[in-house]
Amino acid sequence: MTLLTINELNKKFISKNGETHALKDIDMTVERGELVTIIGPSGCGKSTLLKIIAGLDTEVSGTVTIDGQEVSGPSIDKGFIFQEPRLFPWHTVEKNIAANFSLKNKDVKAEVAALIKLVKLDGFSKSYPRELSGGMAQRAAIARALLRNPKVLLLDEPFGALDAFTRTHMQDALLNIWQENKTTMLFVTHDLDEAIYLGNKVVIMNARPGSIQKVVDINLTYPRKKTDNAFQSYRQQILQEFEKTEQSNQPLQAVIGGRPL
């Protein structure tokens, strides 16, 4: 069943230097429960697209609907995870997750405890952000977003600031959360391997103006192995799509985690 529908979405930025067409004629659907990854060169509008879906930017033409309701602004049915966790340093993990809800409410406290277990932060509920690793802090941020039971969770390069080992661990942690919670997710990344490893489908974007070049369904079972022939076949297929476009001046390494071919 379709949860998210985007029709003829266009976004322009106006400045003293003129007009920039950031997104052009975006058409996309996302099914309920899917984990969709979005990849493309820097400046192609990936983050702008997420902000529009979240209702953080409404000065657009075209429509974005979630469950048949047109997005007109921020709401609790859309969770947003940034590259940095943005936790309150003066609150413990459980208070950060609860945020504006009171832990004195038994139902809230029970749900927070369940989410702490889900994101594997058992034993850290009373810890402060300064006592957490980067990956642990990001898991707390994900739990905070999930407490609102959003219809869609939007993740804007949430693992981009993490080291390679922690990033790999967080990819598996996110898959575990997604499989257990069934939350629809849209995940922006610059890393091609990450996009294939996580996604049911990979949305490939062009730049200048940002548009969707192709959507590739990833028909691989979980857990996935990046060294498998089938995984590498998808990798080559998507790389070929990037090589076709002449719209981006970004080096190809910008979409494969900075690794040389």
Q: Does 143 fall in a domain?
A: no
pTM here is: 0.91
Q: Does 108 fall in a domain?
A: no
Instruction: Please tell me the predicted confidence (pLDDT) of residue 214.
Output: 94
Structure tokens at 15: 């400045």
Q: CATH no. for residue 44?
A: 3.40.50.300
Q: What is the pLDDT of residues 154-189, one digit of tens each?
A: 999 999 989 999 999 999 999 999 999 999 999 999
Q: Does 8 fall in a domain?
A: yes
What value does the mean pLDDT take over residues 184-205? 96
Contact 54, 74 (CB under 8 A): yes
- The whole-chain average pLDDT of the chain stands at 91
Q: Does 101 fall in a domain?
A: no
Q: Does 237 fall in a domain?
A: yes
Q: Does 109 fall in a domain?
A: no
Instruction: Please tell me the predicted confidence (pLDDT) of residue 248.
Output: 47
Q: Does 138 fall in a domain?
A: no
Instruction: Please tell me the predicted confidence (pLDDT) of residue 10.
Output: 97
Number of domains in the chain: 1
Q: Does 181 fall in a domain?
A: yes
C-alpha span between 239 and 42 (Å, rounded): 16
Residue ranges making up the domain that contains 161: 2-77+150-255
Residue 200's nearest CA partner among 179, 180, 181 is: 179
